[in-house]
């Protein structure tokens, strides 16, 4: 039984397989799963952040004994939550954008504009991944630790290169899917 996977970008079935390989539908399925997992982890982190913040407020104002490491933990968890959520948003093309000009363009120009946007987003994300990787290397090298939790700072800061790297790769895959769909549409349009 073959189930068609629909691209989050084009909405059309990918339907392309390589002999003995995963094929486009397997790649899309894998990225969909990774994106959903990132979103679920980000959601779980949000619940932990809220619970920890509430516990800290109760501890501080009811019992006069705040949790000394709570604010730092909330900040670190929030960093990971944001970058994991951004992975899902980037893959599903749901980031905030102004599409007034794109909507007025012809279908062919819409593909061109979206391709340029995806290239810029991927380039910026991968540059931030590289820069963040350099930061992580320095934090590892000097074994810098947080004040309250005393955990290595590369752990919370790793969210930047991990998140940006995954976003860059996912946007490049989405770009390839979009260009392939546009080519198929052009070939189908020329055939009719």
Q: Give the pLDDT confidence of 32-45 residue by residue, as tens digits.
A: 999 999 999 999 99
Question: pLDDT grade, residue 49 (50/70/90)?
Answer: very high
Q: Is pLDDT at 100 greater than 90 in this prediction?
A: no
Phi, psi (degrees; rounded to nearest 5) at 186: -65, -45
Which range among 54-58, 98-102, 123-127 shows the weakest confidence by mean pLDDT? 98-102
Q: What residue spans define the domains of the chain?
A: 23-191
CA angle 82–126–79, rounded 5-degree value: 15
d(CA 118, CA 10): 14
Considering the chain, what percentage of its residues have pLDDT values greater than 90?
69
Question: pLDDT grade, residue 52 (50/70/90)?
Answer: very high
- Between 3 and 180, name the one with better pLDDT: 180
Q: What is the arithmetic mean of pLDDT over 73-81? A: 98
Contact 76/145 with Cβ under 8 angstroms?
no
Q: Is pLDDT at 79 greater than 70 in this prediction?
A: yes
| pLDDT tens track for 117-175 | 999 999 999 999 999 999 999 999 999 999 999 999 999 999 999 999 999 999 999 99
Contact 134/161 with Cβ under 8 angstroms?
no
Token pair listed for 24:
């486009």
- Identify the pLDDT of residue 11: 55
pTM above 0.85, yes or no: no
Handedness of CA 171, 174, 180, 182 (dihedral sign): negative
């Amino acid at each position: 039984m073959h189930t068609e996977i629909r691209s989050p970008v084009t909405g059309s079935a990918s339907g392309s397989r390589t002999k003995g390989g995963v094929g486009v539908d397997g790649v899309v399925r894998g990225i969909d799963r990774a994106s959903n997992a990132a979103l679920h982890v980000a959601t779980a982190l949000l619940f932990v952040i809220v619970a920890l913040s509430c516990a800290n407020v109760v501890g501080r104002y009811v019992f006069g004994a705040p949790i000394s490491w709570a604010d730092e933990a909330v900040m670190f968890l929030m960093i990971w939550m944001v970058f994991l959520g951004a992975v899902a948003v980037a893959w599903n093309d749901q980031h905030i954008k102004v599409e007034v000009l794109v909507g007025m363009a012809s279908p062919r120009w819409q593909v061109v504009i979206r391709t340029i946007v995806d290239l810029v987003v991927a380039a910026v994300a991968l540059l931030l991944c590289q820069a963040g990787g350099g930061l992580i290397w320095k934090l590892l090298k000097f074994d810098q630790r947080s004040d309250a939790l005393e955990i290595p700072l590369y752990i919370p800061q790793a969210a930047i290169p991990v998140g940006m790297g995954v976003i860059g790769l996912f946007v490049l895959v989405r770009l390839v899917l979009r260009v392939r769909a546009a080519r198929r549409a052009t070939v189908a349009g020329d055939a009719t």
